[in-house]
Amino acid sequence: MLTSRLNIWSRIQLLRKCSTISLSQQKHANIEIHDPLQAHALKEQCILVDEQDKPIGAATKADCHRVHPGTGDVKLHRAFSVFLFNSKGEMLVQRRSVHKVRIPFQITFPDTYTNACCSHPLYDIEQERQESNALGIRLAAQRRLNYELGIPTNEIEPDNFNYLTRIHYANTGDGVWGEHEIDYILFLQKDVTLKPNANEVSEVRYLKREEIDEAIAKFSAPLTPWFALILRHRLKQWWDNLHRLKQFEDLKNIQRF
């Protein structure tokens, strides 16, 4: 088990070293990457679930995000969204890299603003299939925060996350690539070290609660659909109660948006 996780972790770290460019370089680069490591990442397996979040199998990242040309359906799979706050209560948002559209394993919603991290636990990594206390989700979130934002793993332990609830949503995107997810909502309040991966993230900033609406109105790119949904339905209430989140935990029900 541990060997499998470490092998995949090593591959991810190697991929980051191979593909990361500086933010300034990214503005001028025309990236068309056909690296075998990235092609392999496209084949990594997400966890397929039914509408009650029961695992029913696995499918590649590409298959999980491909809109069926006949039905318009997208395979339902497990995901997570991390909302990261510093000690002052400011929330981190990132702008997803424009190169997500060209990098094979980042095929949905490039050049959009979103919460700190949105990704998937992998079926390939046995530990990330663990159900108890959402441990698999927490481990996946730790892995992706390190990969996307460069946060050292020793700064974000699995038990640092507040798991609030799950959200079921769908969006057909551009009609070719879309989303259909049971999305685990994780809150984390901690001052962390950031070193964004430019192939994933083109901008990061912290927003104040009282300025959120004004700041978003001035964004020069749209929001990801899941971030827009959570912002509209739940985020402000959760944000207003960062130190009292226990009262909002709903680990039995799935919110349907």
Q: What angle do CA 137, 143, 147 make, to 5 degrees?
A: 140
Q: What angle do CA 24, 36, 124 make, to 5 degrees?
A: 105
| Under 8 Å between Cβ of 233 and 257 | yes
Q: What is the dihedral of CA 129, 131, 132, 133, to 10 degrees?
A: 100
User: What are the C-alpha distances in Å from 128 to residues 51, 55, 122, 152, 238?
Assistant: 19, 12, 6, 19, 26
Full DSSP string of 29-52: -------HHHHHHHTPEEEEE-TT
Point out the residues that are catalytic: 118, 181
Query: Residue length, the chain?
Result: 257
3-state secondary structure of 152: coil
Q: What is the dihedral of CA 191, 139, 186, 39, to 10 degrees?
A: 100
